């Protein structure tokens, strides 16, 4: 009986030490969060001050395009993180997937993907984004091959480029004319 009591006391002591250790870690993390909040507030004030100075310099009273662009990027980033978190929750609780999808459709948003992209490598993400923004995609090159573009020079004449070729700009035609004179 006394050995069971000793074991119980040791377990209780170990548990209490673990609780105290966790409380100390929580306190440290809260302190770090407070420090980060202070830093964030300072940076936000500095950004607001710089934005006001830029508006005054340009003589504008409304937010500049750069400010609106930064706000839009921030909102998109936040929305992407939220969608990833929702996707993770749906993976943990698959029974809510249908309801969540219907809610997204009701408000006109695409439902979150089944596989959150937060775990993918940054290289594959950059490859995906560069492939998306590539001006030489197969669709655009197929369009330029199948339909010739009309070129209007403002002289009342209309010329069409042969299929598969790119129309020359005025600058490139001038440079080719110079090189042919030499």
Tell me how far apart the alpha carbons of residues 113 and 90 are, in angstroms, rounded to a whole number: 10
129 in any annotated domain: no
What pLDDT score was predicted for residue 134?
A: 44
Domain count, the chain: 2
Tens of pLDDT, residue by residue over 24-67, are 999 999 999 999 999 999 999 998 899 888 888 888 888 888 88
Residues 75 and 58 in one domain: no
* Assigned domain for 170 exists: no
In a domain, 123, yes or no: no
Pair (56, 73) in one structural domain: no
Measured between alpha carbons, how far is residue 122 from residues 84, 125, 182 in Å?
16, 5, 50
- Give residue 176's pLDDT: 46
Distance, in Å, from the CA atom of 24 to the CA atom of 18, rounded to the nearest integer, reads 10
DSSP 119: G
Match 């909040």 to its residue by tokens. Answer: 37
Q: pLDDT digit of tens for each residue in the chain (182 aa)?
A: 788 899 999 999 999 999 999 999 999 999 999 999 999 999 999 988 998 888 888 888 888 888 889 899 999 999 899 989 999 999 999 999 999 889 889 988 888 776 544 444 444 444 444 444 444 444 444 444 444 455 455 555 444 544 544 444 444 444 444 444 44
Residue ranges in the chain assigned as alpha helix (H): 2-58, 65-92, 97-106, 122-133, 138-146, 170-181
Full residue range of the structural domain in which residue 33 is found: 1-62
Cβ neighbour number for residue 90 with a 10 Å cutoff? 21
Contact criterion met (CB below 8 Å) for 110 and 83:
no
Q: Tell me whether residue 173 is in a domain.
A: no
Residue 58 has what pLDDT? 87
> Based on the number of CB atoms within 10 Å of its own CB, is 130 exposed (0-12), middle (13-18) or buried (19 or more)?
exposed
Q: Are residues 6 and 41 in the same domain?
A: yes
Q: Are residues 84 and 102 in the same domain?
A: yes
Residue pair 159/153 in contact (Cβ under 8 Å)? The answer is: yes
HSE toward the beta carbon, residue 34, CA cutoff 13 A: 6
Same domain flag for 77 and 58: no
Residues 29 and 47 occupy one common structural domain: yes
Residues 32 and 56 in one domain: yes
């Amino acid at each position: 009986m006394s050995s069971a009591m000793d074991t119980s006391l040791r377990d209780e002591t170990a548990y209490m030490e673990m609780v105290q250790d966790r409380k100390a870690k929580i306190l440290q993390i809260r302190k770090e969060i407070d420090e980060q909040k202070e830093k964030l507030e300072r940076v936000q004030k500095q950004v607001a001050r710089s934005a006001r100075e830029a508006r005054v310099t340009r003589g504008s009273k409304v937010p500049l395009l750069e400010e609106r662009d930064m706000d839009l990027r921030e909102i998109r980033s936040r929305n992407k993180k939220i969608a990833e978190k929702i996707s993770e929750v749906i993976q943990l609780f698959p029974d809510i997937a249908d309801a969540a999808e219907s809610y997204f459709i009701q408000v006109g948003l695409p439902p979150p993907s089944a596989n959150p992209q937060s775990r993918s490598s940054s290289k594959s993400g950059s490859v995906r984004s560069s492939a998306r923004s590539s001006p030489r995609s197969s669709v655009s090159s197929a369009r330029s091959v199948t339909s010739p573009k009309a070129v209007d020079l403002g002289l009342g004449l209309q010329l069409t480029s042969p299929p598969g070729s790119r129309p020359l700009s005025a600058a490139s035609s001038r440079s080719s004319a110079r090189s042919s004179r030499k």
